[in-house]
Structure 1
Amino acid sequence: MTPKGTFHGVGLGPGDPDLLTVQAVKLVEAAGLLTYFAKKGRRGNARTIVDKWVPAGKPELPLWYPMTTETHFGEEIYITALKDFYERSVEAIADVLDMGKDVVLVCEGDPMFYGSFMHLYIRLKDRYPTKITPGVTGMAGCWAAAGLPMTWGDDQLSVLPGTLDEDELVRRLEATDAAVIMKLGSNFAKVRKAIERAGMLARATYVERGTMAGEVVTALADRDDGAAPYFSLILIPGEGRRP
């Protein structure tokens, strides 16, 4: 029997191609198949980040989402469409793994942190050898770009999705010392209002495209428009014990 290939989830870091790990670059170069998620008809952020490291002629398989922001992720039509998409993606990857070839799925940030990779991983990990190559998270890239020390002493850090309702965001912000708020998009105005209600607006920083071309770092108080792009988040540093 032909030995099965290994399924790799490879983190690409926050956006700067030079922030890939040495291991990530080696795996991309050696992959029997390079695969990545993207909006249908587009190249995708992960594929763009890794571009300089992909050898000419490398076999590729784009995994095009059937939908992204067209409907709320909690609606049945979204859940069904994404489940079918993940099942089809798994079988396409399994066909290559069965030939004994390694498949490398490249992921923005870290594969195990809000990553679509996880949906394929849980379906494949008991059928094939799997390996995770961690990446610098987007939030780490953004607080480095902003020069923000995030936690001091015994500060508690909370990572919150902007999809929570406003009152829940306020409750969680009031219960933490430092916070990272992700998944802004059309939730931006709601998130900003929740931060203001929690009394944290003065120390909140907005970062867009951290470590990438077009990087924006600004005080959240100076930004009050109604939406934010995909690569954006809000950082609220802690104020705990300092020597």
Structure 2
Amino acid sequence: MTDLEDIAGAAKAGVLYGIGCGPGDVRYLTLRAAGLIRSVDVIAFFAKKDREGNARKIVSALVAPGRRELRLVYPVTDEIPSSDPRYRDQISGFYRDAASAIEAELKDGRSVGLLAEGDPFFYGSFMHMWRRLDAIVPVEVVPGVTGMSGCWTRANAPITWGDDVLSVVPGTLDEESLTRRLASSDAAVIMKIGRNFEKIRRAVTAAGLIERAIYVERGTMADERILPLKDCADVRGTYFAMVIIPGQGRRL
């Protein structure tokens, strides 16, 4: 049998790998991602204070005890609105320091695998590291199954048919903008639910899409929750949640 490393390829010294960890179930990792997680010198990941870190939790079965790890702890997450200057100042400084810490590992000749939930280039913190480091160190991005793909699959809801156009909309938009964008969409995925849940449900209803809307929480994970958005009564606004609205285009 061919060894995983033969297929996936081993990590190279001094290279930063942005590793897409998929939607939550470790079995949805690509072979390249799994191989790198096992072979990089340093496993880096973002985490909320006093939390394990979502991406790190996904891959825990692949991380042997004693591995060198770099835990990058956010100074703030949703305690302050992202539009607040205090949020921007703290997060900007944090990303600058995180990039410096990663660069130091690379300059010492170690390979670094920076874990990313879903895909590294889709609403991910990895992009802030890529923007700061891509021009000065070798970087390889390993794509991952997106959270939305995992969610619509687990909901058994084909998302686009025929000529349907898919809109991906952040729930952080104001209610009027949300409603307008949804009303003009054939199919939609609403990300960043968090504390925006009630606003999102009002916008979906105003756009005339409530009957098609599906709420998915922790899709592909052991404690996933899937139900019609109109039936949601006790949603707490978790980070791992989204609303999907399947298209109804041409079906042959």
Establish whether TM, by shorter chain, passes 0.5.
Answer: yes
* SS of residue matched to 2:17: strand
Between the aligned partners of 2:127 and 2:224, the Cα distance in structure 1 is 28
> What is the aligned counterpart of 2:230 among 218, 221, 233?
221
1:4 offset after TM fit, Å? 6.5
> What is the aligned counterpart of 1:78 among 74, 77, 87?
87
Between the aligned partners of 2:235 and 2:150, the Cα distance in structure 1 is 24
Amino acid in the other structure paired with 2:73: W
TM-score, L = length of structure 2 = 0.93
Amino acid in the other structure paired with 1:183: K
1:236 offset after TM fit, Å? 0.3
Between the aligned partners of 1:126 and 1:16, the Cα distance in structure 2 is 33
Partner of 2:242: 233
Give matches, 1:26-37, under 5 Å: 26-37=35-46
Between the aligned partners of 1:225 and 1:58, the Cα distance in structure 2 is 40
| 1:18-77 Cα deviation digits (max 9, x unpaired) | 111111011011111100000012211111111001122110010000000110111111
The answer to whether structure 1 residue 63 and structure 2 residue 72 are counterparts is: yes
Between the aligned partners of 1:185 and 1:81, the Cα distance in structure 2 is 20
* SS of residue matched to 2:149: helix
> What is the aligned counterpart of 1:168 among 139, 161, 177?
177
* SS of residue matched to 1:62: strand
| 1:57-106 Cα deviation digits (max 9, x unpaired) | 11001000000011011111110101111111111111110111111001
* SS of residue matched to 2:70: strand
Query: Aligned residues: percent identity?
Result: 50
* SS of residue matched to 2:88: helix
The answer to whether structure 1 residue 91 and structure 2 residue 100 are counterparts is: yes
The 10-residue stretch of structure 1 (227-236 or 150-159) with the greater mean CA deviation from structure 2: 227-236
Between the aligned partners of 1:224 and 1:197, the Cα distance in structure 2 is 18
Amino acid in the other structure paired with 1:107: A
> What is the aligned counterpart of 2:115 among 82, 90, 106?
106
The answer to whether structure 1 residue 54 and structure 2 residue 73 are counterparts is: no
Between the aligned partners of 2:109 and 2:99, the Cα distance in structure 1 is 15
The answer to whether structure 1 residue 145 and structure 2 residue 136 are counterparts is: no
Q: Is the 8 A contact 1:4 1:99 kept in 2?
A: no
TM-score, L = length of structure 1 = 0.97
1:227 offset after TM fit, Å? 4.0
Partner of 2:5: none
Between the aligned partners of 2:52 and 2:219, the Cα distance in structure 1 is 20
Between the aligned partners of 1:93 and 1:182, the Cα distance in structure 2 is 28
Consecutive aligned runs of 4 or more in structure 1 exceeding 3 Å deviation: 224-227
> What is the aligned counterpart of 1:212 among 210, 217, 221?
221
* SS of residue matched to 2:211: helix
Unaligned runs of 5+ in 1: none
* SS of residue matched to 1:202: coil
Amino acid in the other structure paired with 1:41: D
| 1:134-171 Cα deviation digits (max 9, x unpaired) | 00000000001000011000000000010111111110
RMSD between aligned residues: 1.2
Partner of 2:6: none
Between the aligned partners of 2:152 and 2:51, the Cα distance in structure 1 is 28
Partner of 1:19: 28
Between the aligned partners of 1:34 and 1:192, the Cα distance in structure 2 is 38
Unaligned runs of 5+ in 2: 1-11
Q: Is the 8 A contact 1:184 1:227 kept in 2?
A: no
1:174 offset after TM fit, Å? 1.1
Amino acid in the other structure paired with 1:124: L
Amino acid in the other structure paired with 1:58: R
